[in-house]
A and B are shown apart, each in its own frame.
Chain A
């Protein structure tokens, strides 16, 4: 049973539930208390000890149902019932005789597997499949292409070779028995195939998902296919959540550390300076302020889309964030983003300023005219764009003034460094006024860039 539990932990990890060794120990202790006989209670106990959120509970619940719908090895009572359909199929001929194996005792000289198949003992067969899948380490299965190899491994472990020999022998001596055995073997193959498919569903999910996420993280944002956009959104939100968890907490509390002597004395003047009440020095920390300027012209629209999404899912950390979008002229989009769902907000922004040909010069003029006063010495300004200004005046002088008014000016460019300065790219000219210039073309780079910016306020 313990082995069974360990396999279940593996399956739980596959379903996306983090099961650390400590948790598995807790789960074992819990299971020891409640026992295996009542499925519903066992399920509750495992959900209580392993799952740490409602989502995980749902995933784990499904996983539990799938896992324990497999035939169990070593069933105590023969009338356990509720076996799979596949099991029933090999019973069709002589299902009534199952337990007793009364008629036609199989000949003694046959191998154990043949004996088992002929005696039609479902429980023994199920147990044998389960232990053979253990021997073939079915829990290592990762890809659907491995199905065949695992099936044959399991069959080998059950003693298929010996069975073949027996079959050859029987065909000569006892054709009718050979026929029965052959049918039983087919049913067995089917059952094994089902077991392997179930194993695949249980154990391979995690890898597949990790792989997909990994690919997605490193895929260029600008070239994401339509069907991947939703997944990407989820990934960006996940990134935002992680950044939030990392940076939001310690900011809230002012640290008590050193005694503030002056304030303490003043507060205790009434007691003749005996310090009954103490006052402590507080540490002040800069609050992050971010002003984001996003190029939403056709060429980089999708990247800025994700960027704005990230900035706004972060606003629990960054309590003062203002976002601006521009292609040929610039508008503030903070409110649009805050009041709408991401999809609606993006659509609205795009319809207002999106997809035009970019004019960095006039957009910067817009910014200077209306919003320059939002910049303070605590502000980090982030510009996201490819700095391709269609050979119009780049107005780098405005960028210099922005840089002078703010704490830092970060430029995130979705193009590779090689392209900077070629064609109509004004990047080198802008770069001289930036504190940091980075390439930012994938979700991973986006995460690092934003993480650095938020971290600089600590």
Chain B
């Protein structure tokens, strides 16, 4: 039955990513599976530090493919994202080839004939030789396919989105002078966004839309376990519980998964066996990145530790 196969391959994605140290929720695994099956890019949204970029890296590592990353920023244009003419090389070649011009035009008697002969060579300078491929074009040219990560698409301009549309829907780009370049193997495309601005409908329509939020407690424990193997189970539970309490506060920047991992590493380094007020207060700056946030959290530390310990007993 097709259904049976589907659920096992979603599990295959899950375990494949897990082997790379990326613990995916079922929804993430489903998205990755579907994007392969129906050849669609994934648009990943969510707060910073929940593993959007990591997902692309994990997919690349799992499937043994190259990862090509395009970091977006305001003012990014096709010359930097797609391709550029090697203008200097073109000029240099014209200078060098000046002498050869006589040979090319040698046989021509009239100006007309000379022009005709020149026309035959005109396209030489607008050939593949003089194209400098940028990440997007590189991704299409990978013979074995690749993972194309278009990071923080929300930082780019709206025009840039339109530039992406052709690639996202058909895996091809059109270079006016050369014609259409199609992907040899369609790349797996991951776009990430922090929702800094709303993306266009046309872009969203071409993608699977995946929202990665903060993980559930159990999932986060597993993530920490896979990333920081040295940590004891009690400590892991306590710290994840504590972080979940912290996330309920109204903070400027909530601690994300990457911060949980950092904190776990710090706690292991300090050889803590369980949470206590002292050690939490000392290391709070690993979790929280604003002075105001730390000030808001400090008075709550004791209560949160107690709560985390309690949930531990029942959990």
Contact = CB atoms under 8 A, between A and B. Distances in A.
Interface of A: 18, 20, 22-23, 26, 29-30, 32-38, 40-41, 44-45, 47-49, 51-54, 57, 241, 245, 248-250, 252-253, 256, 274-276, 278
Contact of A37 (B1, B159, B204): B1
B91 interface: yes
A261 to B, nearest CB: 16
Interface string B202-242: 00110011110100000000000000000000000000000
B2 interface: yes
B205 A22 contact: yes
B296 to A, nearest CB: 19
B38 A249 contact: no
A252 B74 contact: yes
Contact of B3 (A34, A54, A276): A34
B18 to A, nearest CB: 18
Interface stretch (B26-34, B108-116, B297-305): B26-34
A18 B197 CA distance: 19
Contact of A33 (B37, B157, B158, B210): B37
B58 interface: no
30 contacts: A18-B201, A30-B38, A32-B2, A33-B33, A34-B30, A35-B6, A37-B4, A41-B10, A41-B26, A44-B26, A44-B31, A45-B34, A47-B27, A48-B27, A48-B30, A48-B210, A49-B209, A52-B209, A54-B211, A57-B209, A57-B211, A248-B197, A249-B158, A250-B158, A252-B74, A253-B75, A253-B77, A274-B91, A276-B88, A278-B87
B7 interface: yes
B288 to A, nearest CB: 24
Contacts of A47: 27
Given A34-B6, A37-B1, 6 more contacts: A18-B201, A35-B1, A38-B7, A44-B26, A48-B30, A57-B209
Contacts of A23: 205
Contact of A38 (B3, B75, B88, B205): B3
A217 to B, nearest CB: 21
Contacts of A26: 38, 40
Contacts of A54: 45, 211, 213
Q: How large is the interface on B (under 10, 10 to 19, 20 to 34, 35 or more residues)?
A: 35 or more
Contact of A36 (B3, B87, B95, B209): B3
A18 B204 CA distance: 11
Contact of A275 (B6, B91, B204): B91
Contacts of B157: 249, 252-253
B234 to A, nearest CB: 31
Nearest to B209: A52
Given A23-B205, A250-B158, A278-B87, A41 B7 contact: yes
B291 interface: no
Contacts of B37: 29-30, 33
Contacts of B158: 249-250
B198 interface: yes
Contact of A250 (B2, B30, B91, B159): B159
Contacts, number: 97
Contact of B2 (A35, A40, A248): A35
Contacts of A32: 2
Nearest to A253: B157
Contacts of B208: 48-49
A41 B29 CA distance: 10
> From DSSP, what is the main secondary structure of chain B's interface residues?
helix
Nearest to A50: B209
Interface in B87-146: 87-88, 91, 95
CB-CB nearest 4 A-B residue pairs: A35-B3, A249-B158, A37-B3, A52-B204
B303 to A, nearest CB: 28
Contacts of A33: 2, 6, 33-34, 37-38
Contacts of A252: 74-75, 157
Contacts of B40: 26
Contacts of A245: 198
A161 to B, nearest CB: 40
Given A35-B1, A36-B3, A57-B211, A45 B30 contact: yes
Nearest to A25: B38
A250 B157 CA distance: 8
Contacts of A18: 201
B196 to A, nearest CB: 11
A33 B5 CA distance: 9
A30 B37 CA distance: 8
B5 to A, nearest CB: 8
A245 B161 CA distance: 14
A9 to B, nearest CB: 14
A47 to B, nearest CB: 8
Nearest to A316: B197
Given A35-B2, A276-B88, A276-B91, A48 B31 contact: yes
Contacts of B31: 44, 48
A276 B205 CA distance: 41
Contacts of B198: 241, 245
Contacts of A248: 197
A45 B209 CA distance: 10
Contacts of A22: 205
B105 to A, nearest CB: 22
Contacts of B2: 32-33, 35
A274 B75 CA distance: 27
B205 A44 contact: no
Contacts of A45: 30, 34
Contact of A48 (B88, B91, B209): B209
Given A41-B10, A276-B88, A53 B38 contact: no
Nearest to A255: B159
A328 B200 CA distance: 45
B209 A53 contact: yes
A54 B204 CA distance: 13
Contacts of B6: 33-35, 38, 41
Nearest to B2: A35
